[in-house]
Amino acid sequence: MTQPRLDVIGIIVRDMPSALAFYRQLGLDLPAEMDAQGHVDAFLPGGMRLSFDTHAVIRSFRPDFQPAEGHLHKMNLAFLCASPADVDALYARLTEQGAEPGKAPFDAFWGQRYAQVHDPDGNVIDLFAAL
């Protein structure tokens, strides 16, 4: 199995225009037309992405989603895997070793094999690969 690599830092936002306005102030190139999107990717130097998803987008695949209060659980880390099979294998390995399952692997409508687990502090870790 090829090692996954950290590829995306995701932030769940209540209000996309407000969130993007804030990150524009920090120098991210986020054109105004992105304000109307439910999902936005900002490409960072070195190839990393910072993504923003609205509550509605998250609820499209996690209907039970409830926004966290305070500073915990508002961000997630996403690891790009080499293949859909690697998503399944890594999810199985992590959960067998005690990681709390979040969302079992599935073929997402946005073109990825996608799964979620929780780190020891309860933060969401996404595992994904292109279909």
The alpha carbon of 60 is separated from its chain's Cα centroid by a whole number of angstroms, namely 13
**Count of domains for the chain:** 1
Give residue-wise pLDDT tens across range 91-119: 999 999 988 899 999 999 999 999 998 88
The sign of the dihedral angle between the CA atoms of 63, 34, 13, 6 is: positive
Q: pTM for this one?
A: 0.70
Average pLDDT of 119-127? 81
Q: Residue 49's domain is classified under what CATH number?
A: 3.10.180.10
Whether residue 45 is predicted with pLDDT greater than 90 in this model: the reply is no
Query: What are the tens digits of pLDDT across the range 5-39?
Result: 999 998 888 899 988 988 897 788 999 999 999 99
Can you list the positions of beta strands (E) in the chain? 5-13, 39-43, 49-54, 75-80, 100-107, 112-118, 124-130
Q: Give the structural domain span for 14.
A: 5-130
Residue 73: its pLDDT value, please? 56
